[in-house]
Amino acid sequence: MSSSLPALDQWVAEVARLTSPDRIHWCDGSDAEARELTRQMLDSGELIALNPDSHPDCHLHRSDPDDVARVEHLTFVCTPQREDAGPNNHWLEPAQAHARIDALFAGCMRGRTLYVVPYCMGPIDSPLARCGVEITDSAYVVANMRKMTRMGAPALARIEREGHFVKGLHSTGELDPERRYIMHFPHELTIKSYGSGYGGNALLGKKCHALRIASWQARQEGWLAEHMLIVGIQNPQGDIHYIAAAFPSACGKTNLAMLIPPESYRQAGWKVWTVGDDICWMQPGADGRLWAINPEAGFFGVAPGTSQGTNRNALAMLDRDALFTNVAVTGDNQPWWEGLDDRVPALDWQGRPYDRASGTPAAHPNSRFTVSMHNCPSYTDEAENPAGVPISAIVFGGRRRHLAPLVVEACDWTHGVLIGASMASETTAAATGKVGVVRRDPMAMKPFCGYHFGDYWAHWLSFDRPGVTLPKIFQVNWFRRDDDGRFLWPGFGENLRVLEWIIARCRGQAGARDTAIGRLPDQDDLNLDGLDLDAADLQALLAVDADGWREEAEAIARHLDGFQPRVPPALLHERERLAQALAASTGTVAAEPTTTPTTAPSPA
């Protein structure tokens, strides 16, 4: 097979010359093709069938133990000018980068099949969607791409019509960490990835295309490609407000996107609709609002911690047609991970007999599930709406033990961009490296922005222009702890209480108090009915520690300084304004139990 697009056929031929595969297979995305690939992977041992009674059509893949997370130190953005990649990216000169990685690709597919995977990021008929073609020698990657993107014949038809596409070349190579690179060439709309078969390193539609390349394209074309979930919150009156929320990897985006309302909210008629759990592309519409699509078609979620109690929706979508990576298995061959239930698994994520006394987790902390979004009970057809959904609020969240309150509303767009730009979070198992270290992660895009953060912030600021009705921006932190390490806020479904306040603020219907760091709810502005929360914990969650924040403002100044001379002056002024407001306040400013409601204009 080939396409009707010479540019595509030429590229496939070129890659085949370089990599010398035994066979070339153009993926059509059909069920028959998926069945055949699964059969081959079961034969080769790449996939293991799970219990067909409890988990029909579910499979397990075990990664190489040295290949279980994204590798940021081996990920490069290769712009012609070094400065354009920014201090936020590793950089190599493009010609040198091509030479270095092409040397690895030479002959690497000997004995293997080269799969041509045409895919569309976003609803197939959406003007906001963008297409790509991934060439890979991994059937496991093909199987993932089929769940995660609109893959196959319809995507190829769109590519042939449009005549352009993002090129992604991938080989698992030898899975040798010493021979591994993830390289991006934004000016050539090209990705090359060698030596890893894992998630964001190998499913090139995801972080490589939909964030690193797309963020660069979005800047040229006037839109935003963000590391955000999209969730619709339906109130008892039936109005649905869509929220886009950025959190670093493995900070609960999937749980928030599929939130189960607390019992009292369910009874009152609240509903939650999942549009996306990881990536959001947003563009101003004719009405001046931001409209968003989820470019993905599935979820590649963190398994550990997913349970009946924390995310019933996720669990319900994992008992059929799901692909698991690096989870443990029970004696009767069901998938298992820490936090699921109190069964003891038989085999750990590497297939070794599991000994609980070893004290090590049975599932890898970054073990994952891949499922089509159609499996999700809270899935909404709006995820297929070519126009996208209108965004009422943007939320920035991090994982922070101290300082950051439960929720803060930005005073305006510029303040909101500063909040996003100065986000910080403790590192997680989603990337290799030390876990639990606080690092700045602007807009949760630190590993994913395909160009200089200074230019990126200027691009964000540019959306604030006459005639627009931008979403309100908020900062949240579900992860505050006391000195003993205990979480102060119950999180999960209870986060709806915070989202309710956020939506009410967007509608001009809830109270807030002005503080130096933004607007916070007082205790009675939040619906805490039926929640057993310690009064002191609530105080701590809603207090502004002015001394701590003064230090934070200084830290933010140093952080921004690292991106000079490209930091937009408006952002520096905003930081000054924050520092001055903090200079005027002392001690810890606690939340009041009573307030005068302030009203705000409604964006939606």
Nearer to ligand SAT, 434 or 558 (CB): 434
Q: For every residue of 450-483, which 3-state class applies, written as one string?
A: CCCHHHHHHHHHCCCCCCCCCCEEEEECCCCECC
Nearer to Mn ion, 249 or 326 (CB): 249
Nearer to Mn ion, 249 or 330 (CB): 249
Under DSSP, the state recorded for 207 is I
Residue in 143, 121, 425, 146 with CA at minimum distance from that of residue 279? 121
CA 545 to chain centre: 30
Ramachandran bin of 233, using left for φ above 0, alpha for ψ from -120 to 50, beta for the remaining angles: beta
Residue 199 binding partner per list Mn ion, ligand SAT, none, with a CB distance cut-off of 5 to 8 Å that depends on partner kind: ligand SAT
What angle do helix axes 214-221 and 453-461 make, rounded to 10 degrees? 40
Residue 186 binding partner per list ligand SAT, Mn ion, none, with a CB distance cut-off of 5 to 8 Å that depends on partner kind: none
Residue 206 binding partner per list ligand SAT, Mn ion, none, with a CB distance cut-off of 5 to 8 Å that depends on partner kind: ligand SAT
Contact between 278 and Mn ion (CB under 5 A)? yes
Give the count of alpha carbons within 13 A of 66, CB side only: 9
Shortest Å distance, C-beta 191 to ligand SAT:
13
Residue 518 binding partner per list Mn ion, ligand SAT, none, with a CB distance cut-off of 5 to 8 Å that depends on partner kind: none
Q: For tokens 């349970």, name the residue.
A: 307
Residue showing the smallest CB distance to ligand SAT in the complex = 200
Shortest Å distance, C-beta 511 to ligand SAT:
36
Shortest Å distance, C-beta 296 to ligand SAT:
10
Binding to Mn ion in span 234-263, by CB under 5 A: 249
CA distance 115 to 251: 33
CA 581 to chain centre: 33
Q: What angle do CA 530, 533, 538 make, to 5 degrees?
A: 125
Nearer to Mn ion, 226 or 552 (CB): 226
Answer for the pair 475, 407: CB distance below 8 angstroms, yes or no.
yes
Q: Is 116 helix (H, G, I), strand (E, B) or coil?
A: strand
Q: Which uninterrupted H or E stretch holds 280? A: strand 280-284
Shortest Å distance, C-beta 8 to ligand SAT:
25
Nearer to ligand SAT, 227 or 400 (CB): 227
Residue 497 binding partner per list Mn ion, ligand SAT, none, with a CB distance cut-off of 5 to 8 Å that depends on partner kind: none
Shortest Å distance, C-beta 112 to ligand SAT:
23
Shortest Å distance, C-beta 207 to Mn ion:
7
Q: How many residues bind Mn ion (CB under 5 A)?
A: 2
* Token pair in block for residue 113: 């099949």
Shortest Å distance, C-beta 179 to ligand SAT:
19
Binding residues (CB under 6 A) for ligand SAT: these are: 70, 199-200, 206-207, 249, 300, 430
Cite the active site residues.
251
DSSP β-ladder status, 588-589 and 544-545 = antiparallel
* Token pair in block for residue 464: 């604030």
Residue in 17, 25, 7 with CA at minimum distance from that of residue 189? 7
With CB under 5 A as the contact rule, which of the stretches 115-123, 273-281, 349-357, 564-572 interacts with Mn ion?
273-281
Residue 200 binding partner per list ligand SAT, Mn ion, none, with a CB distance cut-off of 5 to 8 Å that depends on partner kind: ligand SAT
Shortest Å distance, C-beta 206 to ligand SAT:
5
Residue in 128, 365, 306, 338 with CA at minimum distance from that of residue 230? 128
Residue 167 binding partner per list Mn ion, ligand SAT, none, with a CB distance cut-off of 5 to 8 Å that depends on partner kind: none
Answer for the pair 97, 187: CB distance below 8 angstroms, yes or no.
no
Nearer to ligand SAT, 70 or 505 (CB): 70
Q: For tokens 């100044």, name the residue.
A: 557
CA distance 396 to 383: 22
Contact between 523 and Mn ion (CB under 5 A)? no
With CB under 5 A as the contact rule, which of the stretches 47-55, 66-74, 271-279, 372-380 interacts with Mn ion?
271-279
Q: What is the CA radius of gyration of the chain?
A: 24
Nearer to ligand SAT, 68 or 470 (CB): 68
Answer for the pair 391, 290: CB distance below 8 angstroms, yes or no.
yes
CA distance 480 to 489: 7
Amino acid at 392: S
Residue 384 binding partner per list Mn ion, ligand SAT, none, with a CB distance cut-off of 5 to 8 Å that depends on partner kind: none
Nearer to ligand SAT, 46 or 278 (CB): 278
CA distance 554 to 575: 9
Shortest Å distance, C-beta 210 to ligand SAT:
10
Residue 70 binding partner per list Mn ion, ligand SAT, none, with a CB distance cut-off of 5 to 8 Å that depends on partner kind: ligand SAT
Q: Is 40 helix (H, G, I), strand (E, B) or coil?
A: helix
Nearer to ligand SAT, 478 or 549 (CB): 478
Rule CB under 5 A: which residues touch Mn ion? 249, 278
